[in-house]
Amino acid sequence: MGPRRLTGTPLEKQAQEKLGAELQALGFSLEWRPHTWTRSIYMGLMMHFGLGTLGVALTLYGQPLIGAGCLAFAAVSYFFESMRKALLLRGLFPKIHSQNLIARLPAKKTMRRRLVTIAHCDAAFTGVLFNPTVIKIATKPPPHALRWFGKQLGVATASLAILSILSLLAGLGVWGAPYWLFIVLGLPTTITFLLNLDVVIRDRVVPGAADNLSGCTASIELAARVAAQPLPDDVELVIVISGSEEAGTGGAVRLAQQVEKSGEWKKEDTFVIGLDTLCAGTLRYLEEGEMWAMDVPAPMLTAIEAVNAKSEIKATKFVVPSGASDSLPFLVRGWNTVCLSCIDPIIGAPRNYHSVTDTWTNIDEKELNSSIDYAEKFLRQLATQ
């Protein structure tokens, strides 16, 4: 589906169109929802934490008040972005146009429940950040008492906030913190800046077979299975092929905003299932949140436990150390949602994650088929629960 299937490119839409044609042939009605976003989350991270690094440098070189301003703005801006509430710094970037494909199979009678699956079709950039050794170090869980430190971007953002206070105190003449403290607290910021700078400079795009054409494949297969063996008559099935996910879940953010504002997807009867990288590891359900861990909603956990009780393959929890899936924008707005994914326990991420080796030749078909089988059971459990 193209070597540079990036957010907002013709190849992204071509992939959605091919998938849409298959869904339409199965009886789904199609709707296109355009949105604007920015192309690269790594450019955004580079700018946020680069601004923080600049703030530290300005403080150390005699401009603490200006440094405090840089640090505070970077912290506040990235906090709002990580919570999928607003784009402040990234809002200044050039906009690109992308779209979500919404495929709908309506209920045959008065709708009691809407089930939504969402899988993205755009591909990611790569760099040193995604070297398996780096991933393994970054995803190693800290001691339980320090579990919050497992959220790398949460730690980096908190360091920005603390440094902004120290810089302000120095600028006001209240207290001049020692240089070594600024350097130590600035390490998470500087490391985050440099790793994302590397991704931006490389400008290399991965094939994205597992991440996330596997989720798109699962969406089509689930649609075919439901067409052959329908859900209860009062259940609507919506399949979303999202854009802009690899640019920071942009498609899901915009879709969640649209359906919340219009009221068309009521939170009490709509359940959202993320399907992302359904091979290259062991099946897990994701506990998301970039600043802190956000609990999986109880109805989703109940359904997972019910499926686990009668399934040979069992999905277990994985606390996401960094990044997010298309489920997060719905989670932070109060929907019942969870994402299914596969994680290699050795490295703490899917095999070939954001790598040029993420090709179809490296897809484990048995893992993918098992994940699809589980996703179908999960879908049907939610339909009757």
Same domain, 198 and 214: no
Banded model confidence at residue 274, pLDDT cuts 50, 70, 90: very high
Same domain, 148 and 175: yes
Same domain, 235 and 341: yes
Q: Which residues pair with 103 in a beta bridge?
A: 30, 239
Q: Which of 157, 182, 202 is the last residue of a domain?
A: 202
Task: Kindly state the percentage of the chain with pLDDT values over 70.
Answer: 97
| 168 inside domain | yes
55 has pLDDT over 70: yes
For the segment 172-194, the average pLDDT, to the nearest whole number, is: 94
pLDDT per position as a tens digit, 195-206: 999 999 999 999
| 316 inside domain | yes
| 41 inside domain | no
Same domain, 300 and 171: no
Domain that holds residue 141: 47-87+136-202
Q: Which of 202, 223, 245 is the last residue of a domain?
A: 202
Per-state percent for the chain, helix, strand, coil, to nearest 5:
50, 15, 35
C-alpha dist (Å) from residue 335 to 49, 169, 294, 332 = 31, 41, 12, 8
**Residues 209, 217: Cα–Cα separation, whole Å:** 10
Same domain, 182 and 237: no
Same domain, 153 and 242: no
2 has pLDDT over 80: no
Same domain, 164 and 81: yes
Same domain, 118 and 145: no
For the segment 340-364, the average pLDDT, to the nearest whole number, is: 95
For the segment 116-136, the average pLDDT, to the nearest whole number, is: 95
pTM of the model: 0.95
Banded model confidence at residue 145, pLDDT cuts 50, 70, 90: low
Amino acid (one-letter) located at 311: S
User: Which sign does the torsion angle of CA 369, 373, 379, 383 carry?
Assistant: positive
27 has pLDDT over 80: yes
| 311 inside domain | yes
Same domain, 80 and 157: yes
Pairing relationship of beta strands 316-319 and 282-287 according to DSSP bridges: parallel
DSSP 8-class letter at 143: P
Are the C-beta atoms of 55 and 68 separated by less than 8 Å? yes
Say if residue 352 is preceded by a cis peptide, omega within 30 of 0: no
Q: Which of 159, 181, 202 is the last residue of a domain?
A: 202
Give the number of other Cβ atoms within 10 Å of residue 208's Cβ.
26
Same domain, 309 and 182: no
Number of domains in the chain: 2
**Residues 5, 124: Cα–Cα separation, whole Å:** 8
CATH of the domain at 277: 3.40.630.10
| 131 inside domain | no
Per-residue pLDDT at 112: 97
Same domain, 141 and 57: yes
Amino acid (one-letter) located at 36: T
Per-residue pLDDT at 144: 67
Same domain, 148 and 23: no
* Nearest Cα residue to 16 out of 207, 209, 213: 213
